[in-house]
Chain A
Amino acid sequence: MKALRRALGEFGRYPSAIAGVVIIGLLILVSIYTLLALPLPEAIAKWRGGEEYWAEYPKTAAPVWVNWFRARKLPPTLVESTADGSATKTSEALTEEMTDIQMVFDVNYTYDAFPQELSLFITTNYTSKPPLLSVTWLTPDGREIRVGEFTPRHSDVYRFSIDDKLIRRLGGIPPEQGLFIREDPSGLVLVKGNYQLLVSAVTFEPGSDVDAKFVVYGQVHGWAGTDHRRRDLSIALLWGTPVALAFGLLAAMGTTLTTMILAATGVWFGRWIDAIIQRITEIQLILPLLPILIMVGTFYSRSLWLMLGVVVVLGIFGSAVKTYRALFLQVKESPYIEAARAYGASSWRIIFQYMIPRVVPILVPQLVVLVPSYVFLEATLAVLGLGDPVLPTWGKIIDDARVNGALHQGQFYWVFEPAALLMLSGLSFAMVGFALDRIFNPRLRGL
């Protein structure tokens, strides 16, 4: 107990170690929050989902905080809907069958860049005669631009950007830009101010109704941004935390503890048991870990937990067996072991209660230092396209970003966010481990 308190006191002398502990604590808090706020089935469903979740999200939008570093502010996504009252809707019966519905979407556009896309999501109910919609765009400087007329199906999306007629009307400029500019003597300029989208619908059946949602897709979204499939990256960033911690800790513990027990057993029983362990270790040395993991991933299953199992099984006979063996050979000759044997302690008792506790001070720093390498191993596998097929993880974000050319197209947030989290968690464990190593390893003390 006293030794432990002394070790803790010494630990406080390393600022980097304290920083590491704080970061690990934060990561654990994030994990707990994630597990509570976003249950795994929901996270997986969202992460693998398509339009049903992500229709209103922009594609590869940067996180909101990039605006802090930019003089020209990028727009976020603006959503207005008649269903929830954020847009006004008035209806007036024309005849018994026909109703005129006026919908007004106010867009206060004060940003320095164009939106990414414009879409109008329409839901109507009718039995045989669909309503007729006509859409007009009013600019702050009082111009009126006819967008188009169409008859929607029950649930339809009108995408401004792919309407060729509208593009032609705007002189070949994409609508998400063409609708927001004015011709000046100096050229075309973006106009800020209150825009209005007027949708007037005529229904041809009694009881037929129209609702619409106008989405001005922005170029920034949320604190994490979105990816090429419009998914909010925050899901994978949040869920990556418990996955990385679990994988790193379990793999490190699995390999270190089993290796230690194995080395102790080999040393204590000696002779052929020791010889066999030694030979297996030598064979393991020439078995390349990463290629085998790749093989397992391609041939068998990409489940993260299978990978974890393979890592642990291959790690048991890792080269660390040799290091521990050298330590245990010294421990075995100690007088207190002799004493234990004299009072008749069984072999297993000696191994687990006398030999292993003796080397725990060396085990602990090793274990902590090993964690980051496994956290990064998970990311490595994901970057090779062998990430877990269902779990959203940091490595998979990096892989998606790399495959979809984020590096070439300047979408750096996409790589930066998971990379920063990886680095943070890796560094925190490494810093703590290094400090522990210097505390527990008397030869390093003061160096």
Chain B
Amino acid sequence: MSQATLPLPTEAAPAAKRGASTFSRVMRYTLVRSVALFATVVVGVYLTILIANMGGEVDKIRKAFIRDNVALSFMGDRQFQQLPREERERIIAEIITVEEHRLGLDRPFLLRSFGFLGQALSLNLGRADLLTSDSGSSQVRLILLERLPPTLLLFATANFLNFFLSIFMALGLSRRYGSFLDRAVIALAPTSAAPGWFYGLFLIIIFAAVLGLLPFGGLVAAPPPKEPLAYALSVLKHLTLPVLALVLSTIFLTIYSWRTFFLIYSSEDYVEMAKAKGLPSGTIERRYILRPTLPTIITTFALSLIALWQGAVVLETVFNWPGLGRLLFQAIGLYDTAIIVGSTVIYAYLLALTVFVLDFVYALVDPRVKVGGEGAKV
């Protein structure tokens, strides 16, 4: 969903109970919070496992797949063909049983789903069924790690660019509110309704197909250049279009939201007061506008960082970018549940961790929020 909503800051907590020492209060709060978040992660991951396994349906497909493979492996075997019929069936059934036992398919699904949950939560992500990493390993962890850097590179670049550009442009616009540029940004804000891949198509048409300036997709040129500098340049060239597509698809709406947000804050009485005192506008912006909006800014930034994990599945597919998003799509196409669950687990953990850290960061930057106070439930 490209519709950016500005999250509300957590409700301000009333003063803490008298008597309780700060340390024990913080400890209790931390404990309660982490237990609650962990429970959330467990439920979320289990739901993913259930959906990914179609309530056991995937197993049927996998069993049929094993049966086919075993039958196929004996196709060209003369000696085997000459055995009597019962003998042949017995051998095949035996191999299938061994194979199913090896993959753990002989236990009921419900039981295995809990085993799976335990493994997933302890980040023991298991082995992929079909997909492998470039080095040939089928360890889910290795596959995910291999696909992580391209995704991080792409989305971190786009997000940082988007974040800083929008904050500074928004500050500038809120100062020159009503100017031509300001009205242009307002008019352009609805263009963010389209997702990144949509702009990607147009960028590919313009810069790759018509002008021939930039490549259609991929991470580096083939074959990859040997020298590090040339390699980096090649990656940069391939990175330009997807990053541009991502930035284009969000920047105007983000600028618009921040600008409006800053405008609302700059009409507060204390800002008027500061202006009346004759403080320089830089100081007013830093101390009187940015400071109170810091919690919201941090939340938005943290949440956008998490979104890296999700990647834009389609954007990576359109640009042939070898990241997590495309991996997820490949995995789903091949019914590779281990990888699907793996990436969701990591996503869930990251989100929970960020929410956890955010609670504390809020307390640091927002004096109204006191950690562990009554009613500090998010």
Contacts and interface: CB of A to CB of B under 8 A. Distances in A.
Nearest to B52: A295
B240 interface: no
Contact of A300 (B8, B44, B54): B54
A412 B211 CA distance: 13
A185 interface: no
B80 interface: no
Nearest to A281: B40
B48 A287 contact: yes
A296 B51 contact: yes
A279 B44 CA distance: 11
A316 interface: no
Given A279-B40, A288-B344, A384-B313, A376 B216 contact: no
B279 interface: no
A292 interface: yes
Interface in B338-358: 340, 343-344, 347-348, 351-352
A419 B202 contact: yes
A171 B333 CA distance: 48
Contacts of A384: 313-314, 317, 329
Interface string A360-400: 00000000011011001101100110000000000000100
A377 B193 CA distance: 10
Interface in A287-310: 287-292, 294-296, 298-300
Contact of B193 (A288, A322, A426): A426
B82 interface: no
A298 B8 contact: no
A283 B47 contact: yes
Contacts, number: 137
Contacts of B204: 407
A427 B47 contact: no
Nearest to A329: B11
A412 B48 CA distance: 39
Given A286-B351, A408-B209, A376 B195 contact: yes
B328 to A, nearest CB: 6
A323 B332 CA distance: 33
Interface stretch (A62-70, A229-237, A428-436): A428-436
Contact of A283 (B1, B43, B189): B43
B48 A430 contact: no
B1 A373 contact: yes
A422 interface: yes
Given A288-B344, A426-B193, A299 B54 contact: yes
Contacts of B305: none
Contacts of B365: none
B310 A423 contact: no
B288 to A, nearest CB: 18
A126 to B, nearest CB: 48
A419 B313 contact: no
A271 interface: no
A80 B31 CA distance: 82
A316 to B, nearest CB: 14
B201 A415 contact: yes
Nearest to A410: B209
B58 interface: yes
Contacts of B41: 286
Interface of A: 16, 278-279, 282-283, 285-292, 294-296, 298-300, 319-320, 322-323, 326, 369-370, 372-373, 376-377, 379-380, 383-384, 398, 402, 407-408, 410, 412, 415-416, 419, 422-423, 426-427, 429-431, 433-434, 443-444, 447
Which 10 A-B residue pairings sit nearest by Cβ, starting from the closest?
Answer: A430-B190, A372-B193, A426-B193, A286-B348, A286-B44, A430-B193, A299-B54, A373-B1, A286-B351, A431-B190
